[in-house]
Amino acid sequence: MEILPVVKAEAYGHGAVEAARVLAAEGARRVAVSNFEEGLALREAGLQVRVLVMADYVGCGRAALVKSGLTPVVHSLEDLKELSRMTQGSSGPVSYHLKIDSGMGRLGLCLCPAKIVSAIRETRNLEIEGLMSHFASAADDASTQTADQIVAFRDVLESFRHAGISPRYVHLSSSGAIAYGRRPPFENAVRPGLALYGYVAGGGREPRQPLVRVSPVLRWKATILAVKEVPEGSPIGYGATFRTARRTRAAVLGVGYADGYPRPLSNRGQVIAGGRFAPILGAVSMDVTTIDVTQSPQLRPGDAVTLLGSEGELELDAMRIARTAGMTPYDLLCGIHPRVKRVYVD
Ligand SMILES: *Cc1c(COP(=O)(O)O)cnc(C)c1O
């Protein structure tokens, strides 16, 4: 089984170069990104692993992708022809993966298999290294969409085999399908993203226990900028959406929605401060957020609080924060702004 770890979107906010370096050191021969710029950034950082570019197009002016040794995913016959034209005169065959739209209705070829096979036969200088598709509802047991997608994909795969076309890698599964046991027998590669970073987001109505055990990679902290005692009835923050019900020790944190800290956490979320949960008071604003630290009088400006992570027994993970904010762990993690300093620890 080949693992194609997904490091798109700055490795879901964790830092693509650092994540790819760690994965390569752990033995990954390939990583996957979404667009060519992300692939080039890995090359510019000196990474030599194979890079699969999953969601871009092969238009004119994109010769750099071949020169940089990136492996494109082809989504249309036009892309296939363009890639073949672009690679004329290259020393060896250029590899690509072909994506089939097996019923998600997004990227991928959605044609009768015979047409695809004949188009592949007409291409020169190219080697189809992979055949792939993507599931729309993999973690949802109640849905028949995954089974339908497998049937549609299998149809294409069978036609390929009859035509003597056998891509080295056949892959459909991302974290949801891996974690919830969608393992059609023909798979020999998987594309985990979210699970690498420590989460499995069950989309099902009755989520089952996932088959993989993962733990969160990232912790997010913020610094206390100021602490103040305010009397009962004091308004806090924009629009005075909160008023203190008693004398309150409030701490103002240097984090806001410009950092990707979700605004819907206003008056709803909490952080871990001084070893206790501390509720958010009022609106999360662009650069600062206020919390109630009445129970932790020892806290001072300069102290760190945990927005995401654990302190002792207490834990706030991306799943829980996302739920409170009406988000998913995907958009929460991807939304952590580049101005938030990343520190890598072993
Ligand atoms: C993002 C993505 C993945 C990884 O998805 P996760 O749910 O994060 O595991 C895999 N394949 C494709 C095509 C993707 O776009």
The whole-angstrom separation of Cα 271 and Cα 276 is: 8
The Cβ-side half-sphere exposure at 45, using a 13 Å CA radius, reads: 16
* Ligand 1 pocket, residue 6 CB under 6 Å: yes
Least confident of 8-22, 96-110, 203-217, 243-257: 203-217
Instruction: Tell whether ligand 1 has an atom less than 6 A from the beta carbon of residue 173.
Output: no
Cα(90) to ligand 1 centroid in Å equals 31
Q: Which atom of ligand 1 is nearest to the CA of 107?
A: 13
Is 49's pLDDT higher than 70?
yes
**In this model, does residue 128 exceed pLDDT 80?**
yes
Confidence grade of residue 185 (pLDDT, cut at 50, 70, 90): low
In this prediction, residue 183 carries a pLDDT of 66
Q: What is the pLDDT of residue 173?
A: 93
Q: Is the Cβ atom of 191 under 6 angstroms away from ligand 1? A: yes
Torsion region of 105: left, alpha or beta (phi above 0 gives left; psi -120 to 50 gives alpha): left
Residue 166 is predicted with a pLDDT of 94
Range of weakest confidence among 47-51, 67-71, 167-171: 67-71
Catalytic residue, candidates 67, 115, 228, 238: 238
Q: Is 253 in the pocket of ligand 1 (CB under 6 A)?
A: no
Banded pLDDT at 138 (limits 50, 70, 90)? confident
Closest ligand 1 atom to Cα of 73:
13
Q: Is the pLDDT of residue 203 over 60?
A: no
**Would you say the CB of residue 193 lies under 6 angstroms from ligand 1?**
yes
Query: Looking at ligand 1, which residue's alpha carbon is closest to its atom 1?
Result: 193
Closest atom of ligand 1 relative to the 174 alpha carbon: 9
Strand partners, 249: 229
Whether pLDDT at 108 is above 60: yes
Q: Say whether pLDDT at 164 is over 90.
A: yes
Q: Which of 8, 169, 199, 221 is catalytic?
A: 8
Is pLDDT at 66 greater than 80 in this prediction?
Answer: yes
Q: Point out the least confidently predicted range of 31-40, 77-86, 175-184, 267-276.
A: 175-184
Task: Choose the residue to mutate in 12, 30, 51, 54 for probing ligand 1, maximizing ligand atoms within 8 Å of C-beta.
Answer: 54
Residue 36 has pLDDT above 90, yes or no: yes
pLDDT score recorded for residue 272:
98
Compute, in angstroms, the gap from residue 263 CA to the centroid of ligand 1: 26
Reported confidence tier of residue 186, pLDDT bands at 50, 70, 90: low
Average pLDDT, the chain: 94
Tell me whether residue 238 is one of the annotated catalytic residues. Answer: yes
Minimum-distance ligand 1 atom for the alpha carbon of 176: 7
Question: Which of 2, 140, 174 for mutating ligand 1's site (highest number of atoms within 8 Å of CB)?
Answer: 174
321, 202 Cβ separation under 8 angstroms: no
Residue type, 210: P
From 129, 40, 74, select the one nearest 85 (Cα to Cα).
74
**What pLDDT band is residue 62 in, cutting at 50, 70 and 90?**
confident
Span of 31-35, 53-57, 61-65 with lowest mean pLDDT: 61-65
Kindly state if the Cβ of 194 falls inside 6 Å of ligand 1: yes
Q: Which atom of ligand 1 is nearest to the CA of 175?
A: 9
Q: Distance (Å, rounded) from C-alpha 168 to C-alpha 92? A: 17
Compute, in angstroms, the gap from residue 144 CA to the centroid of ligand 1.
20
Q: Which tokens hold the place of 168?
A: 């080295």
CA gap 62, 53 in Å, rounded = 12
Q: 10 Å Cβ neighbour count for 320?
A: 14
Active-site residue 261, yes or no?
Answer: no
The alpha carbon of 245 and the centre of ligand 1 are apart by a number of angstroms equal to: 46
pLDDT tens-digit map of 292-337: 999 999 999 999 999 999 999 999 999 999 999 999 999 999 999 9
Residue 176, ligand 1, Cβ within 6 A: yes
Confidence of residue 181 (pLDDT cuts 50, 70, 90): confident
Q: For position 191, what pLDDT does the model report?
A: 95
